[in-house]
């Protein structure tokens, strides 16, 4: 008999996931006030676990808490976007170097598998799916570096990148081209050429970062891209 484990996580964790998801997907807009009693009743829990979730969101940088003034969804200025992408670049290139040092061919296989899934989604013209797989690709890079502290730092950055992406209306650009952009990076990793892989990744991240920062309006929160 194959029984599934029953959901046993604490309310706090489930509330945290729900709120995080709402912020990351842009359902909760930047600057929006997160009123405890309101959220608590709408989620059907008391304020205690909800507050704990809000604390965590604050330390993760997704929300902002001012004593006696409440918690709001953190605003994202143009400077924030630039910082986000520059730090992202630093973390990812570090991960690449560290991964290459391990000379594990299994890693390259996994990256290529991921790429192929991305390509398939691109051919189906499925923007959402491409985005998700792109996230998985970059997450995988970090994971394969085998650096757990880096992973936790990355998660914070990654979440906010997702938030940024959700806040702008992207037209469907050439998805296949986006997918193929990853090939030279994988090739450089396979060849063990750290410097080249790093260079390519820096360009890759910088390009998308600039593209986004370019059309960013601090008050309107994101314009149209591509």
Partner DNA sequence: CGTTTGTCGATTGTCGACAATTTCCGGCGA
Partner DNA sequence: TCGCCGGAAATTGTCGACAATCGACAAACG
Contact set with DNA (CB under 7 A): 8, 10-12, 33-38, 45-49, 51, 65, 67-71
**Which run of H or E residues covers position 63?**
strand 63-66
Residue of 64, 89, 82 whose CA lies nearest to 154: 89
69 binds its own copies (CB under 8 A): no
Min CB(143)–its own copies separation in Å: 14
**Could you say which of DNA, its own copies, none residue 220 binds, taking C-beta under 5 to 8 angstroms by partner kind?**
none
| Chosen from DNA, its own copies, none, partner binding at 56 (C-beta under 5 to 8 Å by type) | its own copies
Instruction: Please count the other Cβ atoms lying within 10 Å of the Cβ belonging to residue 124.
Output: 11
Contacts of 67 (CB under 8 A, 6+ apart): none
User: Cβ of residue 19: shortest distance to DNA, in angstroms?
Assistant: 13
72 DSSP assignment: E
Which of 39, 84, 197, 198 binds its own copies (CB under 8 A)? It is: 84
Residue 55 contacts its own copies per CB under 8 A: yes
Please say which residue, 11 or 140, places its beta carbon nearer to DNA: 11
11 binds, among DNA, its own copies, none (CB under 5 to 8 A by kind): DNA
In terms of DSSP H, where are the helices of the chain?
A: 11-24, 36-43, 47-60, 78-101, 105-123, 127-144, 148-167, 175-180, 183-190, 194-214
What is the Cα–Cα distance from 173 to 57, expressed in whole angstroms? 33
Alpha-carbon span 199 to 163, nearest angstrom: 26
Interacting stretch for its own copies, rule CB under 8 A, among 89-97, 174-182, 195-203, 208-216? 89-97
Interface with its own copies (CB under 8 A): 8-10, 12-13, 48, 51-52, 55-56, 59-61, 67, 80, 83-84, 86-87, 90-91, 94, 98, 147-150, 152-153, 156-157
């Amino acid at each position: 008999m194959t029984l599934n484990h029953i959901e046993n996580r604490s309310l706090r964790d489930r509330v945290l996931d729900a709120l995080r998801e709402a912020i990351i997907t842009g359902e909760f807009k930047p600057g929006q006030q997160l009123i405890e009693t309101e959220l608590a009743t709408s989620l059907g829990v008391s304020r205690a676990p909800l507050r704990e979730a809000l604390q965590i969101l604050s330390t993760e940088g997704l929300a902002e808490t001012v004593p006696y003034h409440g918690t709001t969804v953190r605003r994202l200025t143009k400077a924030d976007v630039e910082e986000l992408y520059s730090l992202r670049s630093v973390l990812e290139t570090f991960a690449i170097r560290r991964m290459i040092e391990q000379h594990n061919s299994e890693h390259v296989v996994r990256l290529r598998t991921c790429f192929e899934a991305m390509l398939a989604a691109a051919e189906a013209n499925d923007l959402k799916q491409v985005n998700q797989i792109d996230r998985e690709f970059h997450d995988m890079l970090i994971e394969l570096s085998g650096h757990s502290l880096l992973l936790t730092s990355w998660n914070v950055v990654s979440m906010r990148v997702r938030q940024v992406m959700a806040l702008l209306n992207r037209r469907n650009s050439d998805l296949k081209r986006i997918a193929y952009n990853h090939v030279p990076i994988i090739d450089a990793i396979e060849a063990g050429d750290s410097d080249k892989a790093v260079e390519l990744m820096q360009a890759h991240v910088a390009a998308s970062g600039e593209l986004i920062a370019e059309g960013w309006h601090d008050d309107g929160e994101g314009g149209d891209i591509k």
